[in-house]
């Protein structure tokens, strides 16, 4: 094919049905975007992909301290996961501050999402206002060693099955730092007999701890050191 011209070679009788089929397919596909759909997300798909070694999952509740109750009668899980968390920033005060401080923040139906500088990196935060969602997202993203490449804020509307009485609707609610979970996962050697969590990137073993945030655990620093112990395989940072 050159400049829209097609060249067919072969015996005439054999080429007739081929040319007829080609012309029919060409007419069918002329105004279609075949190929563009796949390529639309190709730049994201081929970005550097690295399995997060240290993951910080931060959880909020609707009270400063236990006992906690369902939020407006709904069983709601409010969490933000920080991929590739910066080890140097796993400090109690810094994490609580990123989550809104002791006074928390107002959660709601505005959703802020960030694409991070690694293929596996994506973060999401909900708040009651657009600016509140963006501010909380940026504060949480500061705990990561990754950079924000792009971010978007969208509003969940009361449409279809998302009614204000359904579990899908997020009423504006004051929430407070409750606890965080730190996960340290190491790639297991291929010939290691230990069984870990199987993924397409390999098998991973995980060390995990739940740390309360409504007060500073007396052994916080000790637990952090234990969780971040290096292994023979994995992140050397």
pLDDT digits (tens, 9 = 90+) for 102-154: 999 999 999 999 999 876 678 999 999 999 999 999 999 999 999 999 999 99
Q: What is the DSSP letter of 189?
A: P
Q: What residue has token string 């991973």?
A: 204
147/46 Cα distance (integer angstroms): 17
Q: Please compute the mean of the pLDDT values over residues 54-61 and round it to a whole number.
A: 91
Confidence of residue 74 (pLDDT cuts 50, 70, 90): confident
Taking the complete model, does pTM exceed 0.75, yes or no?
A: no
Q: What is the pLDDT of residue 97?
A: 97
Q: What is the pLDDT of residue 119?
A: 63
- Confidence check: pLDDT of 207 > 60: yes
* Backbone phi and psi for residue 46, each to the nearest 5 degrees, phi listed first: -95, 5
- Confidence check: pLDDT of 182 > 60: yes
Confidence of residue 49 (pLDDT cuts 50, 70, 90): low
Nearest alpha carbon to residue 47 among 133, 165, 150, 141: 150
Q: Give how far the C-alpha of residue 231 lies from the chain's centroid of Cα atoms, to the nearest Å.
A: 25
- 124 touches 82 (CB < 8 A): no
145/218 Cα distance (integer angstroms): 26
């Amino acid at each position: 094919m050159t400049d829209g011209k097609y060249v067919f070679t072969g015996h005439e009788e054999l080429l007739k049905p081929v040319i007829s089929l080609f012309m029919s397919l060409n007419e069918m596909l002329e105004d279609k975007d075949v190929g563009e759909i796949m390529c639309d997300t190709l730049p994201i798909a081929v970005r550097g992909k690295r399995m997060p070694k240290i993951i910080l999952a931060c959880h909020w509740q609707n009270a400063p301290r236990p006992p906690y109750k369902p939020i407006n009668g709904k069983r709601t899980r409010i969490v933000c996961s920080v991929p590739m968390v910066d080890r140097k920033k796993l400090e109690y005060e810094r994490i609580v501050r990123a989550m809104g401080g002791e006074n928390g923040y107002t959660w709601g139906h505005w959703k802020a999402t960030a694409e991070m500088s690694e293929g596996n990196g994506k973060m999401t935060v909900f708040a009651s206002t657009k600016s509140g969602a963006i501010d909380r997202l940026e504060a949480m993203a500061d705990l990561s060693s990754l950079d924000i490449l792009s971010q978007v804020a969208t509003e969940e509307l009361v449409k279809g099955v998302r009614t204000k009485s359904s579990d899908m609707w997020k009423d504006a609610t004051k929430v407070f730092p409750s606890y965080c979970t730190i996960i340290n996962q190491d790639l297991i050697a291929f010939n290691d007999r230990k069984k870990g969590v199987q993924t397409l990137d390999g098998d991973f073993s995980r060390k995990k701890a739940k740390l309360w945030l409504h007060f500073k655990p007396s052994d916080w620093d000790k637990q952090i050191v234990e969780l971040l112990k290096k292994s023979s395989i994995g992140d050397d940072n």
